Amino acid sequence: MTRLAGQVVCITGASSGIGAACARTFAREGSRLLLAARRLERLEALESELRAAGAAGIRSVALDVRDREAVIETFESLDAPWRDIDVLVNNAGLSRGLDPLHRGLHSDWEEMLDTNVKGLLWVDRVVVPGMVERKRGTVIHIGSIAGRQVYPGGNVYCASKHAVRALTDGLRLDVNGSGVRVMSVDPGMVDTEFSEVRFHGDRDKAGKVYRGMQPLSGDDVAEVVRFAASLPEHVVLAETLLLPTDQASATTVHRKG
């Protein structure tokens, strides 16, 4: 029996990448999985695998975290045991474009800020009060090295992840003394759909991002998330920068050949 067995773990952006990897990892811990994503069909396709892995229960909900009213309605309509969330992995996020700021697309900026910043806020705002009331709970934000270092063309995406870092620190201060833990896991290069989304579906461009080096996998990040959540309740792994061995900074990457 693990520390996370039976706990309700809510994961946003759970239909692919880091979110789906977290779902698999917490399933093996025997957790109850509350999975949220825009693509409900992908969540439902995962369910049999997650049950076989050991999930104590699964609830999948279609949710776009940019829609504040939908976020409120989704979480406030939950019944027992799902409404008493023990662990929130606030993961939903994306990057769009790699243009210089003076040539950036307004639509890309709005999508990133609405998802990465506002979406994270909407979910925290509806979930954290219950944790404070119960005097326990763990909030894990999935940040990025982009929240620590700015790189060419990263402008608004980096700004959104700097905001996530500030919100993580701010929330930790605000709930201090409540028993609620607030953490962030900040990955470097991870081979998921991230680059394909950034380049608007251009798989050729996306593939070049990881050429000649070994990036992290979603499973690598999920394992750190699981470890952070499984620590004794008096321990907070406040922030973790997770890099592949081939990456030394946002822009320093060793490539073979």
Domain boundaries, the chain: 8-242
User: Could you report the per-residue pLDDT of 110-145, keeping only the tens digit for each?
Assistant: 999 999 999 999 999 999 999 999 999 999 999 999
Higher pLDDT, 237 or 207: 237
Out of 26, 157, 194, 210, pick the active-site residue: 157
User: Could you report the per-residue pLDDT of 3-27, keeping only the tens digit for each?
Assistant: 999 999 999 999 999 999 999 999 9
Over pLDDT 90: what percentage of the chain?
Answer: 91
Q: For residue 162, which of 233, 212, 112 has the smallest C-alpha distance?
A: 112
CA gap 207, 248 in Å, rounded: 20
Asked if CATH classification 3.90.1150.10 holds for the domain at 8-242, the reply, yes or no, is no
Between β-strands 8-12 and 239-242, what pairing exists: parallel, antiparallel or unpaired? unpaired
Burial of 169 (0-12, 13-18, 19+ CB in 10 A): middle
Q: For residue 178, which of 142, 138, 229, 140 has the smallest C-alpha distance?
A: 138
- The pTM score is 0.96
User: Could you report the per-residue pLDDT of 49-87, keeping only the tens digit for each?
Assistant: 999 999 999 999 999 999 999 999 999 999 999 999 999
Residue 151 bears catalytic tag:
no
